[in-house]
Structure 1
């Protein structure tokens, strides 16, 4: 009876330990990927060398950031700034334009698209801070999430706030549900809290693909693994080059073992028939270089890129030209655009909830909605060919001069801006014509 009564508690303890272990591994993996992306690979490489070599201090660690190169080439949704248009009143449009500028929405979303490719799952949180709306980009190493029947049914979100001092007893947590929020200390004791003022979780999950059975999407391990292999081979290569660069001195015909300290301008006395010389070791430099090149190409191809995208030969190939003609990348971008169009619309709803709570006298209306238009990448053409294309489309009635003006000048953020620009150009042209007459 005693044994039976302890089974549920024992089982729960095992499950809790497994969950804690999985959470720790997930957070460590996310932190490592962020280190790799942000050029913080040296500590990880030194740890590898210590595990693999008896005298790692004799090696000079070398790395190149392949992870960042590939991730930035795959994150193509925000290759151009999307056109966002609020369907609502003029006041709604003005308020959202102010928020976009203050929160630096374009830069945050571009970084978010890269983090999604790197980490597969992350979150954006609209937050009211210092009298303005800001956007926090939260990565898996900072997050714990509880979901319901579906990965998209988020019930609770906990954010870890690490102390700059690195002290464990200064770590705090923010725990949010749709109904409440709490601030917890490092022991999990409540410091402060209250009702959730927004009525919804102010967190937007971002995924690299639609989640099916897990909130935290798997994937990307191959890129990390190849990065580590390349770093080891680069370190090996430098060590081999150093070893081959200096010949190994030898003495033949000496009376015993030992060494002779000799250099230019010195004379060495040898026994009769003795010889002195240097031997250059045969190092497999070409083989190591070929192996590194092969790893780079495999990393590119396995992620939907061309082998030339990681070539060491300099090219002037633009981001657009990498996409156009590459069907795998084109399809990948279409999928990503579909995801991020939905993310932007849901983020607009969260921004409205946070903004309206803190700005009771200047609210965004509940009827307002966001429309987002992501520009399709097009092959680069000369201005003459572009002008001919615009003339053809204008003649067919498929575009207006406003579309051509906005495409030519991305700083014309709205159609009203483009129309005002065209009217100003028309008036200036008429004035110049009258003066000539």
Structure 2
């Protein structure tokens, strides 16, 4: 159990470190011309990862922090699909060869809003333009309220292997407070339909820190979720940022758990999942011991990208759709989040990049350190510095800061190896922040550490 003093000391607003440098530090210096050049320089022998953003939902979940639009009609979604397919062609025009692809992910929004034939058409374009490897993981985020049988038929036909199902909480009072009402039976039916079609890779997303959540309630949600027998779970703390996401003002703030209650919910979920045999992965993921993600963690091969923890080893991730971020060896590039501007750029045959950042050698070293801490809760600075041919003395100040943290029992330092303790696991972002040269604690653009 973490003390109140540690709550207050380390409950800072910090990045989730799905990239380094993080998105708030992107600038217009990286534009479509730069991005096209970066794509042309990619090694055609190295597998790629592809991400497709579908920025539409039928209704707004008030906890949502994603880039999405609400529509009750399909016409804007159908038009969007046409532009997304054009963007695939634009990207292919910049690549000098037919590249292998090891991982594909559809996120949103709600990709399940797509018509089955539109999903098939997008996948056919991908299959024509890229060499999808036989063991590629093809994943999609699913809203069980909009996942229709014919859509799941299309998923099966297109080779999808993994589904991430948004549950958040099964308590109806909580669901109504965040405008996301869906029964256990509805979710169970979707899971059964996926498995009947041979798609057995099931992730479930849960949240804590939502209005009206209680300790007993989150435990009951965990038990109900485990009854679905998912391979993996993601457990995220609700980020209340109404100054960035205006719809979050609809959430009754007086019903939000305070910091101590959030921590207690996190610990209760983690302990309950451990009782059910799930292994903790990094900060906020859990997996069965025989799952590939758990095996990757034990082998020291776990990775982290904009979708969170992953077994995907690709060095280059190409994002398509408004707001999608690409992660390439040269740096990061983000598409314009404004749907209209993104559409005009794509239709003009341009790369719809709004901003990005070229990574420096210093960034790469710090990124490796942060990734090791986030993925494996330990980092050998001697090894990292050898790999980058720099003296470990470069991080003397950071090591001193980490040693000060060790007094609180959240981290240990031995022979320049930093190890996060069980107590420190939920605080790993605060430990990573020591190595973040960009961080400005005065800014309110990040979520709470827990």
TM-score, normalised with respect to structure 2: 0.20
Q: Which has the larger radius of gyration?
A: 1
- Higher-helix-fraction structure: 1
- Higher-strand-fraction structure: 2
Higher relative contact order (CA 8 A, sep 6+): 2
TM-score, normalised with respect to structure 1: 0.21
